[in-house]
Amino acid sequence: MPTRSPQPQDVTAQAAKAAQRHARAHEIADKLLGRNYDALDERAQKVARHMASRTSLARNVATDEEQPPTLGQRAADAVAKFGGSWTFVGLFGAVMVVWVGLNGLLLMRHQVPFDPYPYILLNLFLSMLAAIQAPIILMSQNRQSEKDRAAAGHDYEVNLKAELQIMLLHDKIDALRERQWAELLDMQREQLRLLGRSAPDGNSSVAGEEDPGAALDSSGTADQAPLPL
C-alpha cells in the first residue's frame, strides 16, 4: 500500500506547532525557572519541552534501556545475584566442612591427607575464587550504579515538572482570584451607581405624597372658626 506523502499544508502546520511549543518552552523557562532556555541543562530543557507540549514525562526506567544487556553483563548480574545469596553462603560453608572433614578422615585412616593442615590447597582455591568473583561483582555493581543514576535523573525530571506545574496552578488561581475580585468591585460600583441614581427620585416622590396631606391639614385648621360661647 503506497505511503501518503506529507502535504505542504501539513508540513507548515507542524512547523508552526513546533515553533509555538519552542516559544512556550522559552516562556516557561523565563517565567518559572528565572533563566534563559539556552542556559538550562539538558534535563531542565527536557522538562520545559514536555510542559510546553503537555506530554507525559514518567516512564519505567527499569525496563527502558537504550540497548539490551550483553551476554557478559547478564553473566555478571547472575554471578552477583548468586554470590550475594544465602544459597551461596550455605554451599560455600558446606564445601569447606566437607573439605576439612574429608582431610581429617584420610588423616585418621591412611595418615595421608590430600590437603593437610593449614589447608594450603583450599586457601589457593578460595583466593582464585575471590580473584575471579570480585571483578565480576564490580561489573554488576557498575551497571547497577548506572541504573541508579538514570533513575535519580528521571526522578529529578518528574519532581521538577511537578513543581513547575504546581507553580503554574498557583499563578492561575491567583489570576482567577484577582479577576473575580475585579468583577465583584465592578458589580459593587454599578450597584452603588444605580442606588445613587434612584435615591433622589425616591425622595421627591415621598415628599410629594406627604405635602398634600400636610396642606390639607393646615388649610382645614385655618378655615375652622372658633365656636361661640
Q: Which cell numbers in the block locate residue 24?
A: 512556550
Q: Which cell numbers in the block locate residue 190?
A: 454599578
The tens place of each residue's pLDDT in the chain, 229 residues long, gives 455 555 666 667 777 888 888 888 888 888 888 888 888 888 888 888 888 888 888 888 777 766 788 898 899 999 999 988 999 999 999 999 999 999 988 888 888 888 888 889 999 999 999 999 999 999 999 988 988 998 899 999 999 999 989 988 998 999 999 999 999 999 999 899 888 888 665 555 544 444 444 443 444 444 444 444 3
Cell 465583584 sits on residue = 184
Can you give the pLDDT at residue 220? Answer: 46
Among positive and negative, which fits the CA dihedral 183, 184, 185, 186?
positive
Give the length of the chain: 229
Distance CA 26, CA 49 (A): 9
DSSP H/E element including 7: none
Measured at the alpha carbon of residue 95, what is the angle toward residues 93 and 96, in degrees to the nearest 5?
65
Can you give the pLDDT at residue 45? Answer: 87
Contact 112, 105 (CB under 8 A): no
Closest alpha carbon to 136 in 65, 81, 92: 81
| Whether pTM exceeds 0.95 | no
- The region that residue 120 occupies, defined by phi over 0 for left and psi between -120 and 50 for alpha, beta otherwise, is alpha
Burial of residue 166, with CB atoms counted within 10 A of its CB: 0-12 exposed, 13-18 middle, 19 or more buried: exposed
Distance CA 25, CA 47 (A): 9
Distance CA 111, CA 116 (A): 10
Can you give the pLDDT at residue 227? Answer: 40
Can you give the pLDDT at residue 41? Answer: 86
Distance CA 191, CA 189 (A): 5
Can you give the pLDDT at residue 70? Answer: 87
CB atoms within 10 A of CB 140: 21
Can you give the pLDDT at residue 118? Answer: 87
Can you give the pLDDT at residue 127? Answer: 94
Closest alpha carbon to 134 in 71, 79, 75: 79
